[in-house]
Structure 1
């Protein structure tokens, strides 16, 4: 991905969403060749020259100061996440970084211990591009029970959350409001792409999804961004049916681009009961000892002993 092109496309799509009346400009009812504000109108609102803003949008000027970017963001009515994305894109455009293949992501042993400490709370660790780096038993059971639980251990074939959401029918059926979940995934991936325009694997993932999913391509073209910090979803699980789960994202210590995603249900709710049932249904077989009759070697009559049952 080119930082200059991404910056220009982002500015253009945001400008197209604003109407003159949204920013206090008179609308004389004239016919516009393009939707939204004109470049000169946006430049006027931001306090920069029209020629300078045009060069910025066309990728011909990459030296915009933080103050100018803030002014343009205010003129575009950007929210906090969009403003941060604007600065990330401008920084990437200045660096002119060459696409490279980053090293494989991994998690420390302490993170595996943390996942297990969550007990029956579904939890997984997501990497920069949405690869599942690790999960606990319930994280696998809730989010991807149909795939190999050992998948995260293979760096070359790890489950990838954006790929599952858009290309896997089982994951698609898991969400009652799939379009909302899909948009959240795309908007979060857009923010990551703005910070890492030189990540060849991320560029390849975006290209693959755009080629294989028209829905992803349309959502990606909107250039909308939003962090995936916390959201409530209704899920239709194949084992326990409908349940409402808050998917809460948090960064582990020294996590950088990694996130721990938890699946939380309201205490005392039917959804919590469904998670408890899911835990019981997917628990590993426990070998239990019990008293059982054992034949006496001399008499053949049963005598108390211990045997194991699966």
Structure 2
């Protein structure tokens, strides 16, 4: 029946997978007393953290459920925001993109980025529709951001696989960066996002300058 619905609606592969998840939600961890299932806490393995630190010239970070930023390297922090300086609750891409005014100037196409984040959040929440943290996040964003309400009402779905964004960095100027996403086989709710840059471009020079600046900031700190 689901196949017939997907064909009738002409769903793409991402939308089709989302439909199947809604029909058969992923199981959560059930409490010992038979209470409502509770979401598993997400932890980043030490090896993954070392992997991030071993690529100082590549902005990279790990996103978990509800677009939470779980780990990052210094160049990702220099490119996007100083995650370490934020309270853990604020280390969330959806909150940053829709509620942080600084993000509007960071992305050349902020509305395109915001639409992508909303579409990815909808896809992510579909994997765990009973997570109370998802409900709280949606309520917060819907109350505080008319742009989020508009984007959410479009009901778009988009996985974070690969693509590109143009950044307008306050220190090094414009960077046209691609990104690739690696999803962990043993925890598909965690995705490692690494940025790439074309050789011989002004963006490559700007990224090198940003890496140098990030190292200087780290040594001073």
| Among 94, 100, 103, the residue aligned to 1:168 | 100
Look up the SS of the partner of 2:150 in the other structure: helix
Runs of 5+ consecutive residues of structure 1 not aligned to the other structure: 1-67, 288-310
Give how far 1:105 is off.
Answer: 1.8
Q: Secondary structure at the match of 1:279?
A: helix
Among candidates 120, 131, 154, match of residue 68 of structure 2: 131
* Aligned partner of 2:20 among 87, 95, 120: 87
Name 1:149's counterpart in structure 2: 84
Q: Provide the rounded CA distance (Å) in 2 between the counterparts of 1:80 and 1:203.
A: 26
CA distance, structure 2, for counterparts of residue 199 and residue 234 of structure 1:
33
Alpha-carbon deviation of 1:101?
A: 4.8
2:109 to 159, 177, 191: 177
TM-score, normalising length from structure 1? 0.64
Query: Which has more helix, going by share of residues?
Result: 2
Higher relative contact order (CA 8 A, sep 6+): 2
* Residue aligning to 1:246: 178
The offset of 1:141, in angstroms, is 0.4
Whole-Å Cα distance in 1 between the matches of residues 120 and 217 of structure 2? 38
Query: What is the SS of the residue equivalent to 1:149?
Result: helix
Q: 1:201 maps to which residue?
A: 133
What is the distance in 1 between the residues matched to 2:177 and 2:130? Answer: 35
- Per-residue CA distance 1:192-240 (angstroms, 9 max, x = gap): 1111111111111111111111111121122111111111111100111
1:248-291 Cα shifts (integer Å, max 9, x gaps) = 2112352320111112111121101101001111214698xxxx
Aligned length: 213
What whole-Å deviation, never above 9, does each CA across 1:102-145 have from its counterpart, x for those lacking one? Answer: 2432111101111012121001111111111111110100111x
RMSD: 2.3
The alignment partner of 2:24 has SS state of helix
| 1:40 corresponds to | none
The corresponding residue for 1:32 is none
Matches within 5 A, 1:223-242: 223-242=155-174
Moved over 3 A (4+): 97-101, 284-287
Larger Rg: 1
